[in-house]
Amino acid sequence: MKITATEIFKSIELIRCQSPVVHNITNYVVMNNTANALLAIGASPVMAHAEEEVEEMVNIASALVINIGTLSEYWINSMFKAARQARKKGIPVILDPVGAGATAYRTKTARDLIHSEPPAVIRGNASEIMALYDDKSKTKGVDSAASSEAAIDMARRLSETHHCVVCVSGPTDYIVDKEKILKIKNGHPMMSRVTGLGCTASALCGAFAAVERQPFAATAEAMAVMGIAGEMAAEAASGPGSLQTYFLDDLYRLSEDDIHRRLKVED
Protein backbone atom coordinates (compact mmCIF):
# COMPACT_ATOMS: atom_id res chain seq x y z
CA MET A 1 0.00 0.00 0.00
CA LYS A 2 1.40 3.35 -1.07
CA ILE A 3 1.33 6.07 1.60
CA THR A 4 1.92 9.50 0.06
CA ALA A 5 2.08 13.03 1.39
CA THR A 6 -0.98 13.89 -0.67
CA GLU A 7 -3.05 11.08 0.85
CA ILE A 8 -1.88 11.94 4.36
CA PHE A 9 -2.86 15.57 3.93
CA LYS A 10 -6.25 14.58 2.51
CA SER A 11 -6.92 12.75 5.77
CA ILE A 12 -5.76 15.77 7.79
CA GLU A 13 -8.15 17.98 5.83
CA LEU A 14 -10.99 15.54 6.54
CA ILE A 15 -10.18 15.59 10.25
CA ARG A 16 -10.07 19.39 10.25
CA CYS A 17 -13.33 19.58 8.31
CA GLN A 18 -15.33 16.87 10.10
CA SER A 19 -13.86 17.26 13.62
CA PRO A 20 -14.65 13.61 14.45
CA VAL A 21 -15.31 12.70 18.07
CA VAL A 22 -12.56 10.43 19.37
CA HIS A 23 -13.57 8.72 22.61
CA ASN A 24 -10.58 8.03 24.85
CA ILE A 25 -10.47 5.71 27.83
CA THR A 26 -6.93 6.56 28.75
CA ASN A 27 -4.61 7.06 31.70
CA TYR A 28 -4.25 9.86 34.21
CA VAL A 29 -0.75 10.77 33.07
CA VAL A 30 -1.62 11.66 29.48
CA MET A 31 -5.21 12.92 29.38
CA ASN A 32 -4.26 16.55 28.90
CA ASN A 33 -1.51 15.75 26.40
CA THR A 34 -3.65 13.54 24.19
CA ALA A 35 -6.70 15.80 24.33
CA ASN A 36 -4.61 18.78 23.24
CA ALA A 37 -2.97 16.80 20.43
CA LEU A 38 -6.36 15.69 19.11
CA LEU A 39 -7.62 19.27 19.23
CA ALA A 40 -4.48 20.50 17.46
CA ILE A 41 -4.92 18.06 14.56
CA GLY A 42 -8.60 19.05 14.32
CA ALA A 43 -10.44 16.20 16.08
CA SER A 44 -12.85 16.45 19.00
CA PRO A 45 -11.56 14.52 22.05
CA VAL A 46 -13.76 13.05 24.76
CA MET A 47 -12.27 11.53 27.93
CA ALA A 48 -15.06 9.43 29.45
CA HIS A 49 -14.40 6.51 31.78
CA ALA A 50 -17.54 5.99 33.86
CA GLU A 51 -19.28 2.67 33.26
CA GLU A 52 -22.59 4.48 33.41
CA GLU A 53 -21.90 6.53 30.26
CA VAL A 54 -19.24 4.89 28.10
CA GLU A 55 -21.73 3.13 25.83
CA GLU A 56 -23.65 6.35 25.20
CA MET A 57 -20.39 8.17 24.52
CA VAL A 58 -19.31 5.53 22.03
CA ASN A 59 -22.59 6.10 20.20
CA ILE A 60 -21.58 9.67 19.33
CA ALA A 61 -17.95 8.83 18.54
CA SER A 62 -16.22 7.98 15.28
CA ALA A 63 -13.36 6.08 16.95
CA LEU A 64 -12.50 4.61 20.37
CA VAL A 65 -9.00 4.64 21.87
CA ILE A 66 -8.36 2.34 24.84
CA ASN A 67 -5.15 2.91 26.80
CA ILE A 68 -4.39 0.68 29.82
CA GLY A 69 -1.73 2.89 31.38
CA THR A 70 -3.37 3.39 34.81
CA LEU A 71 -5.54 0.36 35.41
CA SER A 72 -8.25 -0.32 37.96
CA GLU A 73 -11.05 -2.86 38.02
CA TYR A 74 -13.63 -0.12 37.48
CA TRP A 75 -11.85 1.23 34.41
CA ILE A 76 -11.35 -2.25 32.98
CA ASN A 77 -15.09 -2.84 33.12
CA SER A 78 -15.61 0.42 31.24
CA MET A 79 -13.07 -0.61 28.60
CA PHE A 80 -14.89 -3.86 27.86
CA LYS A 81 -18.29 -2.16 27.74
CA ALA A 82 -17.04 0.56 25.42
CA ALA A 83 -15.25 -1.91 23.13
CA ARG A 84 -18.37 -4.07 22.82
CA GLN A 85 -20.46 -1.03 21.95
CA ALA A 86 -17.89 0.13 19.41
CA ARG A 87 -18.05 -3.26 17.69
CA LYS A 88 -21.85 -3.08 17.59
CA LYS A 89 -21.70 0.42 16.11
CA GLY A 90 -18.94 -0.52 13.69
CA ILE A 91 -16.39 2.12 14.68
CA PRO A 92 -12.65 1.39 14.90
CA VAL A 93 -11.00 0.58 18.22
CA ILE A 94 -7.34 1.40 18.84
CA LEU A 95 -5.70 -0.43 21.76
CA ASP A 96 -2.56 0.86 23.47
CA PRO A 97 -1.29 -1.94 25.78
CA VAL A 98 0.82 0.36 27.95
CA GLY A 99 3.25 -1.63 30.09
CA ALA A 100 2.11 -5.05 28.90
CA GLY A 101 4.72 -7.48 30.19
CA ALA A 102 5.51 -5.41 33.28
CA THR A 103 2.85 -7.10 35.44
CA ALA A 104 0.58 -10.10 35.00
CA TYR A 105 -2.47 -7.89 35.66
CA ARG A 106 -1.94 -5.52 32.77
CA THR A 107 -0.73 -8.24 30.40
CA LYS A 108 -3.87 -10.28 31.09
CA THR A 109 -6.09 -7.22 30.70
CA ALA A 110 -4.63 -6.38 27.29
CA ARG A 111 -4.87 -9.97 26.09
CA ASP A 112 -8.43 -10.35 27.34
CA LEU A 113 -9.47 -7.17 25.53
CA ILE A 114 -7.91 -8.40 22.30
CA HIS A 115 -9.53 -11.82 22.52
CA SER A 116 -12.94 -10.55 23.61
CA GLU A 117 -13.25 -7.48 21.40
CA PRO A 118 -10.54 -7.54 18.71
CA PRO A 119 -9.37 -3.99 17.94
CA ALA A 120 -8.76 -2.55 14.49
CA VAL A 121 -5.29 -1.39 15.57
CA ILE A 122 -2.86 -2.33 18.33
CA ARG A 123 -0.10 0.25 18.86
CA GLY A 124 2.70 -0.23 21.33
CA ASN A 125 6.45 -0.34 21.75
CA ALA A 126 8.37 -3.50 20.92
CA SER A 127 8.32 -5.01 24.41
CA GLU A 128 4.58 -4.41 24.80
CA ILE A 129 3.80 -6.02 21.46
CA MET A 130 6.02 -8.99 22.23
CA ALA A 131 4.43 -9.46 25.66
CA LEU A 132 1.00 -9.75 24.07
CA TYR A 133 2.20 -12.85 22.24
CA ASP A 134 5.01 -14.30 24.38
CA ASP A 135 4.87 -14.92 28.15
CA LYS A 136 8.66 -14.60 28.40
CA SER A 137 8.77 -11.03 27.12
CA LYS A 138 9.22 -8.27 29.70
CA THR A 139 9.15 -4.49 29.61
CA LYS A 140 11.21 -1.90 31.48
CA GLY A 141 8.29 -0.33 33.33
CA VAL A 142 6.35 1.24 30.48
CA ASP A 143 9.46 1.61 28.29
CA SER A 144 10.66 -0.86 25.72
CA ALA A 145 13.45 -3.27 26.55
CA ALA A 146 13.68 -4.44 22.93
CA SER A 147 14.21 -2.87 19.52
CA SER A 148 11.22 -2.37 17.27
CA GLU A 149 12.78 -4.74 14.71
CA ALA A 150 12.75 -7.57 17.26
CA ALA A 151 8.96 -7.46 17.51
CA ILE A 152 8.12 -7.70 13.80
CA ASP A 153 7.54 -11.46 13.71
CA MET A 154 5.28 -11.43 16.78
CA ALA A 155 3.46 -8.38 15.43
CA ARG A 156 2.69 -10.29 12.24
CA ARG A 157 1.42 -13.27 14.22
CA LEU A 158 -0.83 -11.01 16.30
CA SER A 159 -2.15 -9.45 13.12
CA GLU A 160 -2.87 -12.84 11.57
CA THR A 161 -4.53 -14.22 14.69
CA HIS A 162 -6.73 -11.25 15.50
CA HIS A 163 -7.20 -9.75 12.02
CA CYS A 164 -5.91 -6.34 13.07
CA VAL A 165 -3.15 -3.90 12.21
CA VAL A 166 -0.21 -3.86 14.62
CA CYS A 167 2.05 -0.83 14.97
CA VAL A 168 5.43 -1.33 16.64
CA SER A 169 6.72 2.12 17.53
CA GLY A 170 10.34 3.10 18.02
CA PRO A 171 13.08 5.01 16.17
CA THR A 172 11.57 3.29 13.13
CA ASP A 173 7.83 2.64 13.33
CA TYR A 174 6.67 -0.61 11.75
CA ILE A 175 3.08 -0.86 10.53
CA VAL A 176 2.34 -4.57 10.25
CA ASP A 177 -0.49 -6.47 8.61
CA LYS A 178 -0.54 -10.17 7.81
CA GLU A 179 0.41 -9.41 4.21
CA LYS A 180 2.54 -6.26 4.40
CA ILE A 181 4.95 -4.18 6.44
CA LEU A 182 5.57 -0.44 6.16
CA LYS A 183 8.41 1.48 7.80
CA ILE A 184 7.97 5.06 8.99
CA LYS A 185 11.34 6.66 9.73
CA ASN A 186 10.22 10.08 10.92
CA GLY A 187 10.72 11.34 14.45
CA HIS A 188 13.43 12.65 16.77
CA PRO A 189 15.26 11.13 19.78
CA MET A 190 14.12 13.97 22.06
CA MET A 191 10.54 12.69 21.75
CA SER A 192 11.42 9.80 24.07
CA ARG A 193 12.12 12.37 26.81
CA VAL A 194 8.50 13.55 26.88
CA THR A 195 6.00 11.41 28.76
CA GLY A 196 2.92 10.33 26.91
CA LEU A 197 3.98 10.83 23.30
CA GLY A 198 3.44 7.14 22.63
CA CYS A 199 -0.06 7.50 24.03
CA THR A 200 -0.49 10.58 21.84
CA ALA A 201 0.43 8.47 18.81
CA SER A 202 -2.37 6.03 19.69
CA ALA A 203 -4.83 8.90 20.04
CA LEU A 204 -3.82 10.23 16.63
CA CYS A 205 -4.36 6.74 15.19
CA GLY A 206 -7.92 7.13 16.46
CA ALA A 207 -8.33 10.48 14.70
CA PHE A 208 -7.07 9.15 11.38
CA ALA A 209 -9.08 5.91 11.69
CA ALA A 210 -12.18 8.06 12.13
CA VAL A 211 -11.81 9.41 8.58
CA GLU A 212 -9.78 6.72 6.78
CA ARG A 213 -11.61 3.39 6.43
CA GLN A 214 -8.47 1.28 5.96
CA PRO A 215 -6.85 0.77 9.40
CA PHE A 216 -3.44 0.11 7.85
CA ALA A 217 -3.45 3.41 5.97
CA ALA A 218 -4.88 5.30 8.95
CA THR A 219 -2.15 3.98 11.26
CA ALA A 220 0.64 4.73 8.80
CA GLU A 221 -0.67 8.26 8.24
CA ALA A 222 -0.95 8.93 11.97
CA MET A 223 2.56 7.69 12.72
CA ALA A 224 4.01 9.73 9.86
CA VAL A 225 2.29 12.88 11.11
CA MET A 226 3.43 12.15 14.66
CA GLY A 227 7.05 11.79 13.55
CA ILE A 228 7.05 14.79 11.24
CA ALA A 229 5.55 17.09 13.89
CA GLY A 230 8.11 15.73 16.37
CA GLU A 231 10.98 16.53 14.01
CA MET A 232 9.73 20.04 13.43
CA ALA A 233 9.23 20.61 17.15
CA ALA A 234 12.69 19.31 18.03
CA GLU A 235 14.33 21.75 15.60
CA ALA A 236 12.77 24.69 17.44
CA ALA A 237 12.90 23.34 21.01
CA SER A 238 15.66 23.83 23.54
CA GLY A 239 14.64 20.71 25.48
CA PRO A 240 11.76 18.34 26.27
CA GLY A 241 9.65 21.03 27.95
CA SER A 242 9.51 23.36 24.98
CA LEU A 243 9.23 20.40 22.59
CA GLN A 244 5.76 19.69 23.97
CA THR A 245 4.58 23.20 23.11
CA TYR A 246 6.14 23.25 19.66
CA PHE A 247 4.76 19.77 18.95
CA LEU A 248 1.18 20.97 19.46
CA ASP A 249 1.82 24.08 17.38
CA ASP A 250 3.29 22.03 14.54
CA LEU A 251 0.39 19.57 14.56
CA TYR A 252 -1.98 22.54 14.32
CA ARG A 253 -0.26 24.22 11.39
CA LEU A 254 1.06 21.14 9.56
CA SER A 255 0.92 21.68 5.79
CA GLU A 256 1.04 19.41 2.76
CA ASP A 257 4.43 20.92 1.91
CA ASP A 258 5.79 19.99 5.35
CA ILE A 259 4.76 16.39 4.75
CA HIS A 260 6.15 16.30 1.19
CA ARG A 261 9.52 17.60 2.36
CA ARG A 262 9.89 15.34 5.37
CA LEU A 263 8.02 12.07 4.80
CA LYS A 264 10.29 9.03 5.19
CA VAL A 265 8.35 5.89 4.37
CA GLU A 266 9.56 2.52 3.03
CA ASP A 267 7.76 -0.62 1.98
Is this structure's pTM higher than 0.85? yes
Closest by Cα among 184, 135, 132, 187 to 156: 132
* Degrees to nearest 5, angle at CA 7 with 5 and 9: 70
Q: What is the CATH number of the domain that holds 252?
A: 3.40.1190.20
Range of 66's domain? 5-266
Taking 50 as the pLDDT cut, the residues of the chain under it are 141-145
Q: Where are the extended beta strands (E) located within the chain? A: 21-25, 44-47, 63-67, 93-96, 121-125, 165-169, 173-176, 181-184, 265-266
Cα angle 176-165-117, degrees, rounded to a multiple of 5: 150
Predicted pLDDT at 139: 54
The pLDDT of residue 145: 47
Domain count, the chain: 1
Instruction: Tell me what pLDDT residue 262 has.
Output: 98
CB-CB contact of 27 with 66 (8 Å): no
pLDDT of residue 147: 66
